[in-house]
Amino acid sequence: MKKSFLLLLILTLSYSSCRKSDYVLSDQHTLITDKGSGTGTTTWTADKNYLLNGKVYVNDGQTLTIEPGTVIRAKTGQGEKASALIVARGGKIIANGTAQKPIIFTVEGDDLQGSVPIESNGLWGGVIILGNAPVNSDKSENHIEGINPAKNERVIYGGSDPNDNSGILRYVSIRHGGTLLSPGNEINGLTLGGVGRGTTLEYIEVISNRDDGFEFFGGTVNARYLVSAYNGDDAFDFDLGHNGNLQFLVGIQGPKAEEDVNDPALLLELSDREGSPKTRPLIANGTFIGKGATANKAMLRFDKSASGQIINSIFMDSSYGLQVEYTGKPNDSYQLFTNKHLQFTNNIFHQVANNSSLQVFSIFTTTNHDISDEDALLKAHFSEGQNSILDPGLSTKIPYQLQPTTSDFGPLAPLPDNPHFQNAPYKGALPPLPDSPDHNWLQGWTLLSTHLNP
pLDDT on residue 315? 97
pLDDT on residue 170? 98
Q: What is the pLDDT along the chain (454 residues), one digit of tens a residue?
A: 444 333 344 344 444 333 333 334 444 679 999 989 999 999 999 999 999 999 999 999 999 999 999 999 999 988 778 899 999 999 999 999 999 999 999 999 999 999 999 999 999 999 999 999 999 998 899 999 878 766 688 999 999 999 999 999 999 999 999 998 776 678 999 999 999 999 999 999 999 999 999 999 999 999 999 999 999 999 999 999 999 999 999 999 987 777 766 678 899 999 998 889 999 999 999 999 998 876 657 899 999 999 999 999 999 999 889 999 999 888 899 999 988 899 999 999 999 999 999 889 988 888 887 776 766 777 788 999 999 999 999 999 999 999 998 888 889 999 999 999 999 999 999 999 987 777 899 999 999 999 998 7
Among residues 13, 120, 27, 31, the alpha carbon closest in space to that of 74 is found at 31
With contact defined as beta carbons under 8 Å apart, do 135 and 195 qualify? no
Q: Report CA-CA distances (Å) from 454 to 27, 208, 287, 439.
A: 36, 21, 18, 12
3-state secondary structure of 250: strand
How many Cβ atoms sit within 10 Å of the Cβ of residue 40? 11
pLDDT on residue 7? 38
Beta-strand pair 180-182/185-186: antiparallel
How many Cβ atoms sit within 10 Å of the Cβ of residue 359? 18
pLDDT on residue 364? 87
